[in-house]
Amino acid sequence: MQADQTLDCMGLYCPMPIVKTADKIKSLKTGEVLEVVADDPGIRQDMPAWSKATGHEFLGIEEAGKEIKVYVKKTHE
């Protein structure tokens, strides 16, 4: 999946990937996509829940080995 920016959260555990995502998404323009790369399995549930709670669009998950990539589109300021 194509992303406008990438956030490396490898080695971080809940809640840090969500905390860092919330901060990073502020720097994106509406409509841009953020790729979050993590190895914490909890991100599979945490990111869709965070996206729903904040009104941003959760686009999906890609996995390769221990690396989990999640994609979120910024839908508002």
The single residue of 5, 12, 14, 59 carrying the catalytic annotation is: 14
Q: How many CA atoms lie within 13 A of 8 on its CB side?
A: 2
- Known catalytic residue at 14: yes
The dihedral over CA atoms of 46, 11, 67, 58, expressed in degrees to the nearest 10, equals 30
**Catalytic residue numbers, as ranges:** 14
